[in-house]
Amino acid sequence: DDCKAMMAKRQAMMDEMKAMDAKLDALVQSMNDSRGSKKVDATAAVVTELVAQRRAMRESMESMHAEMMQHMMGHMRSGMIEGMSQSMSGCPMMGATSQAETGHDAHH
């Protein structure tokens, strides 16, 4: 089902972000442990990785935004037939998005 596929893509994106964080953590640790000219090289590696990750994240977000809009439009189309609240309420992706935006998932 389309909703489950969107949730899987969201989880894959979250996993990718954790991997990116781990890579940056390792590079920063190396930078902090370095001295002299090696510190300059390590700092350059951190900056290079930050730029690469930012570009990758922007591209991923743009792609995800387009897919999410299509997904929501599908719910809106079916909502005109079966009622909007029923159409959106059964979608785990819509619930995950609203919880993430409002922060309500932290205390439920």
User: How do the pLDDT tens digits run along the chain, 108 residues long?
Assistant: 678 888 888 899 899 999 999 999 999 999 999 999 999 999 999 999 999 999 999 998 888 888 888 888 877 777 666 655 555 666 666 665 544 444 545 444
Cβ distance 87 to 76 under 8 Å? yes
End-to-end CA gap in the chain: 26
For the record, the structure tokens of 38 come out as: 């090696």
Question: Domain spans of the chain?
Answer: 2-103
Please state, as a whole number, how many other Cβ atoms lie within 10 Å of the Cβ of residue 100: 12
- One-character DSSP codes across 26-48: HHHHHHHH--THHHHHHHHHHHH
pTM attached to this predicted model: 0.62
